[in-house]
Structure 1
Amino acid sequence: MYTNNELMFPHYAIPRLRDARGGAWASVIDRLSTLPETHEEVLAFMLVMIRLNGCLPCETDSYRAMRGCSMCTLQTLRRFKGSDDELLQMYRDALADMRRYLAQAEMPRIVLTMLQEVA
């Protein structure tokens, strides 16, 4: 009855978004699809989708959740009134946020080690 739902936007959904927008968007998706899910660029993209989709208040019994994360995101991208440039700027802003967060001295050593191994 219910789809396999995630708590936040999942990594596996990224390639499914390739054709949702224009060429620049597809290029970003192509790049992200080759990176591991712990890479800072992937994490930043997932952060953009979480913010854009409104994943935090999503309930498992909501219509959006029942359709699944990929379908929810595709619908959100279709309804987005801004340009691809605006979406890509949101991604660049999230990447800067992610890099600032990862640079914090309080970051647990094990997390830093894992991210360095992946990069």
Structure 2
Amino acid sequence: MYPKAEILFPFPVARKLRNLRSEKWAELVDRVSNLPETDPDALAFILMMIRINNCLKCYSGSYKFMRGCEACSIQGVQQFKGEDEDLIALFEKTKQALEAYLAGEGPAPTGVLEMQFQAPATEDGDED
């Protein structure tokens, strides 16, 4: 019934964003879309797109969800209110923040779901 929609930006959609802006944007998309999804540059691109698309506000039944992730991502990139240099700078800033976090030198990036897990209590009531 609905186009393909996921909870957060699906990385395979990145390739479909290539021709939406300038050659600099196309080069960035080419570079990151050929990386494994777990590469820090790919993760930074995914996080940037989650923020641009406002994925955390999307839910089953919403207009964005019904349109699907590809259409939403295309619209988000096309309607970005800035020059291509601003969009690429946003990627670089996201990448720096993510790298700092992964190195233990910065806070967790905002705009992502944060989950905290507690260790299960042991039989004597103490936590591990």
Q: Which amino acid in 2 is paired with 1:17?
A: L
> What residue is the counterpart of 1:66 in the other structure?
66
Q: Which runs of 4+ in 1 moved over 4 A?
A: none
Shift, 1:24, TM fit: 0.2
What does 1:15-94 correspond to in 2, within 5 Å?
15-94=15-94
Gaps of 5+ in 1: 106-119
Q: Give the Cα separation in 2 of the matches to 1:28 and 1:83.
A: 14
Q: Give the Cα separation in 2 of the matches to 1:71 and 1:40.
A: 25
Gaps of 5+ in 2: 106-128
> What residue is the counterpart of 1:111 in the other structure?
none
Shift, 1:3, TM fit: 2.6
Matched residues, number: 105
Shift, 1:6, TM fit: 1.0
Q: Deviations over 1:15-56 (max 9, x none)?
A: 000001100000001111210000000000011111111100
Q: Give the Cα separation in 2 of the matches to 1:47 and 1:18.
A: 17
Q: Tell whether 2:18 aligns with 1:11.
A: no
Q: Give the Cα separation in 1 of the matches to 2:96 and 2:71.
A: 27
Using the aligned pairs only, state the percent identity.
42
Q: Give the Cα separation in 2 of the matches to 1:34 and 1:74.
A: 19
The two structures have a TM-score, normalised by structure 2, of 0.78
Tell me which structure has the larger Cα radius of gyration: 2
> What residue is the counterpart of 1:110 in the other structure?
none
The two structures have a TM-score, normalised by structure 1, of 0.84
Q: Give the Cα separation in 2 of the matches to 1:83 and 1:43.
A: 22
Q: Compute the RMSD of aligned alpha carbons.
A: 1.2
Q: Deviations over 1:57-84 (max 9, x none)?
A: 1112111111111110111111122000
